Every structure is written in structure tokens, then in C-alpha cells.
Structure 1
Amino acid sequence: MIRAVMVMNTLGKPRLTKFYDFQHVEQQQELIRRVYAVLCSRPENVSNFVEAESIFGPDTRLVYKHYATLYFVFVFDSSENELAMLDLIQVFVETLDKCFKNICELDIVFNYSKLHTILDEIIFGGQVLETSSTEVVKAVEEISKLESAANAIIPKSVSGWLSRST
């Protein structure tokens, strides 16, 4: 099972975090700090696989990939294959590239909900759902069309009234 997905920049600032088992916010922040400490202390020429038992508990590993200014990190248990997780990071990044035309850190910051939609199409509840970036892009485009249609149905006067009443 996948326990967490993290995207952080090279300064340790988290850009996307998704934990598939409950963690308090303070504990999430501490885990992110500890993962970053491990990543930034590793030389470039070592393996992308790390035993994470000291951070996340027994039977936990993490795999990461460094692209430009971002680290993409998947935390998982022994039921998952390390090479498959590395490939899944590649699928995630390829999908982001297709959706955003050369993904960069700002795309992640300003398109937070779309990023979660993409991730939810690939992984849901800690289980891998889809490994084809083409299929994920199709699903995300369909979701975007449905959202646009739903927004077009609600008249502006009603949507203005709804925003004032909350």
C-alpha cells in the first residue's frame, strides 16, 4: 500500500502532500521535514530507494525522483514493488507534463486542485488505479468538461447569491 505522496522543492517547501493513513498536521509536517533531511543529505550518485523505517515505522520504504527543482516522493510498504513505484513517479510526472505542457513548480502551486485530481486518478486510498498517463489525461479532461458544464448551468446571479450567503 502507498502510505504517502509528497512533492517538495529543493528547499524543503512541500508543494503537494497526500497521506493515505491518518496523520495529525503536526506529525505530517515533522514527517515532511525528516524526509527532506534524508533527501538533501544524499549524494546525486546513489540509489533513489531509501529504507524509511526510522521515519514512518516498520516495513516502510520510500522512493524518490529529482526533477529540476522538485522532489517527487512515494512512501510505501513491502506489498509494493520499488521499481513499480519508481515507474509510477514517472507516470505521474509524464501526466503532469501532458496536462500542463512542461510542468514547473508554479503550475503545482497555482493548480492545486487539478494536481489532486490527477493524483486521485492514479492513486486512490493508497492503491494504484491507473498506470497509463494517456488514460489519466482523458479522465482529467472529462472531469474538467463536467466542471465547466456545471459552472455554466448555475446563473451568475445565483452563484453571487450563494457566495454572499456563506
Structure 2
Amino acid sequence: FIICWPRRMIKSVLIVNNHGKVRLSKFYEHFTVQEQQQLIREVFQQLSRRSDYACNFLETTENDKWGKDTKLIYRHYATLYFVFCVDQSESELGILDLIQVFVEALDKCFSDVCELDLIFRMDLAHYVLDEIVMGGMVLETNLNEVVEAVTAQNNLQNQENPLSGLKSAIEKVQR
């Protein structure tokens, strides 16, 4: 009796700025920290050399650590590259749509997201991603569902925060 686990379709999600600084990284396959850093450098080098008018899909080479069946699908928004590293079974156009949903969800959750939001509210950016992709599999593609889940989580956190009651008490005293 052999149990075969399905291969993950999404291997990694990266957000890297124009200077190669990582703003978000999530790996769904095991790599050491050194391997992750090397992979991120290689991805950035490949993407930064491409024209803005080039295709948004890249296939990795056989000697690459990702393996020969991996594609890089990305979009370049302002100063950030949003990159999904996926296996060959994944639809390029489907992943481009998923990147769009991710960016729009970040935009709604942060009220016009910028690079600094990803730096200072990294937890929220990861939470948004976790609502869309978990364990390398797509969970949700509906933008409204993602935003509602993130909003509900934020409201729950604010209710549980002991300092939130203190803040309202101070505001009442100051009046």
C-alpha cells in the first residue's frame, strides 16, 4: 500500500522590489535559508533583466534548484515584482489572475498598499496571502471573500487587544 501525496502546484510566492530587497517570501517546499536566498537572488536577476514588454512567464533551467518543471509567473507593479513559482501543471493565466487578486486584496486591506506597508505590516501581508494560498494550493480566488476574512480577523484582534479598551477610556477622560 503506497500513499502518494499530490505535488504542490505553487512552490513559492515572492515580492521583491526593484533593488532586489525581499518584501515578502513564502516557500511551500523545503529549502534551507541559504538556498532560499540564492533562489531569490536568481529570480531577481532573471526578472530585472527583462523588458517591461516581455512575457510574464519564465521557465527555469534544468540545473536550477527549482527543478526543470518550474515556471516563474510574475507581474511588475510600480517598484515591486510579485512572483509565483509554480510547477508545469499550473495555468499561467490563472496565476496572473491570482496575482491580480492578491494585489487588489492588499490594496483594499492597506487602503492603497505601498512598499512601506509590506515592510511595517508584514503580518497582515502574510495573512492576506494565507487566505489565498495555503500549503502551495489555491484556497480562495474571490476578492471579496479574502477581504472579508482579513477584516474579520482584524476586528477580532482589536477586540482581544487589552490596550484597545484603554485607548477608548483615555479618550473619554480627555473629553
Give the alignment's TM-score, normalised by structure 2: 0.85
Give the alignment's TM-score, normalised by structure 1: 0.89
**1:125 matches 2:135:** yes
**1:96 matches 2:106:** yes
**1:73 matches 2:83:** yes
5+ unaligned residues in a row in structure 1: which ranges?
Answer: 157-166
5+ unaligned residues in a row in structure 2: which ranges?
Answer: 1-8, 167-175
| Of 38-47 and 51-60, the range deviating more from structure 2 | 51-60
Q: Name 2:121's counterpart in structure 1.
A: 111
CA distance in 1, matches of 2:164, 2:53: 54
Compute the RMSD of aligned alpha carbons: 1.7
Equivalent residue runs for 1:8-157 within 5 Å: 8-54=16-62, 55=64, 56-152=66-162
How has the CA–CA distance of structure 1 residues 155 and 138 changed in structure 2, closer, same or farther, with 3 Å as cutoff?
Answer: closer
- Is the Cα contact below 8 Å between 1:53 and 1:61 reproduced in 2? no
- Is the Cα contact below 8 Å between 2:158 and 2:164 reproduced in 1? no
SS of 2:13's equivalent? strand
The residue type paired with residue 83 of structure 2 is V
Q: CA deviation at 1:2?
A: 0.2
Structure 1 consecutive aligned stretches of length 4 or more whose deviation exceeds 6 Å: 153-156
State the aligned residue count: 156
- Is the Cα contact below 8 Å between 2:16 and 2:82 reproduced in 1? yes
- Is the Cα contact below 8 Å between 2:15 and 2:25 reproduced in 1? yes
CA displacement 1:71-125 (0-9 Å, x = unmatched): 0000000221111001100000000111111111001000000001000000000
